[in-house]
Amino acid sequence: MIFRFPENPILRPADVKPSRPDMEVACLLNPGAFVHNGRIGLLLRVAERPVQEDGFISTPVLDPEAPDGMRIVKSSTAERGQASDARLFVHEGQCYLTTLSHLRLAWSDDGVRFEVEPEPVLIGNGKLESFGIEDARVCCIDGVYNITYTAVSDAGYGVGLIRTKDWKTFDREGMIFPPPNKDCALFPEKINGHYYALHRPTHNDIGGPWIWISRSPDLLHWGAHQWIARPRPGWEAMKIGAGAEPIRTPRGWLEIYHAVDAKGEYSLGLLLLDLNDPTKVLARSTSPIMRPAEDYETAGFMQNVVFTNGHVVDGDTVTMYYGAADSVICGARLSIAQMLESLNALDSGE
């Protein structure tokens, strides 16, 4: 069902120029994907940090009061506090990311060979994005590209919205889902007069990292919230979240989602939602359609990760772009017909 590009990885950190001379690109992750003027565009997440010194960990933080709008937090590794994730560290009681991410455009005529623009197209802006912006999803509705992304700060991570028609000028709409929330994928058209979005609130006690759905009259104000899928034992025991925009098919809205097992392995599965009422789950994968298998997926900044939030659809073919091992960007092709055939009907989203 999954046909990985033989050219994988198609983009590596060495292919991207750092945004500043005192930074290095640590990894490339999780691109949004779209078509503009006949070309395929990727909206890359570029994760940067200062060149690391032995015995220390340092990370950039956006700060309008600091020189050049950025300050460096530096901590002795011997004094490093404990955090729940290897991508985090604690310094003087505050949790920080080990990298600062911005968004960068890359363009291709064939969908395989991409040229990366030399400068960021979007960086964090304001106190709710001081730790960067991440994992953009791009959904074109009525000629407008709607970019949903994860905005990160010391207040947590929420979902921001930016709109553009030409990829040169941008309208920032601010945060549309407050912390803790991420993995927001918009549906590409109105359904019964409403916009819909998949997203993932996260709770540490009651509840958990489940896929929710909400509706809106204007893409800014969201309500009618309800969950539609939650983790199940096995390959998706720890958490699940939406990928890119759902794909309209004759059988329903087809969504490629990610799941994490108890060992931290990220894999991909499928949801099928009713065309006229996407709060109804019609079918769901009983096993992964893709899990880490190649060397570039099993070893890297984070081991055993395949994560997608961008694809381009052409007839029956879905060209899916994904982050591998939180380090490099890869591509694969899937058949919509084969994905639909793989699904088994369920009586609920659980």
* Model confidence pLDDT, tens digit, residues 253-281: 999 999 999 999 999 999 999 999 999 99
Q: Band of the pLDDT at 205, cuts 50, 70, 90?
A: confident
**Over pLDDT 90: what percentage of the chain?**
85
Please tell me the predicted confidence (pLDDT) of residue 206: 81
Cβ burial 299-335 (10 Å sphere, 16+ → b, else e): ebbbbbbbbbbbbbbeeeebbbbbbbbbbbbbbbbbb
- Predicted structure pTM score: 0.95
Q: What phi, psi does 214 have (nearest 5°)?
A: -140, 165
Q: Choose the most confident range, by mean pLDDT, from 26-30, 55-59, 71-75, 342-346.
A: 26-30
Pick from 72, 209, 43: nearest CA to 134: 43
Pick from 66, 129, 126, 65: nearest CA to 97: 129
Q: Band of the pLDDT at 348, cuts 50, 70, 90?
A: very low
C-alpha–C-alpha distance, residues 311 and 332, integer Å: 9
pLDDT one-digit tens code per residue, 159-196: 999 999 999 999 999 999 999 999 999 999 999 999 99
Greater confidence (344 vs 201) lies with 201
Cβ burial 31-53 (10 Å sphere, 16+ → b, else e): bbbbebeeebbbbbbbbbbbeee
Q: Band of the pLDDT at 202, cuts 50, 70, 90?
A: confident
Strands 115-116 and 100-108: antiparallel
Q: What is the mean pLDDT of the chain?
A: 94
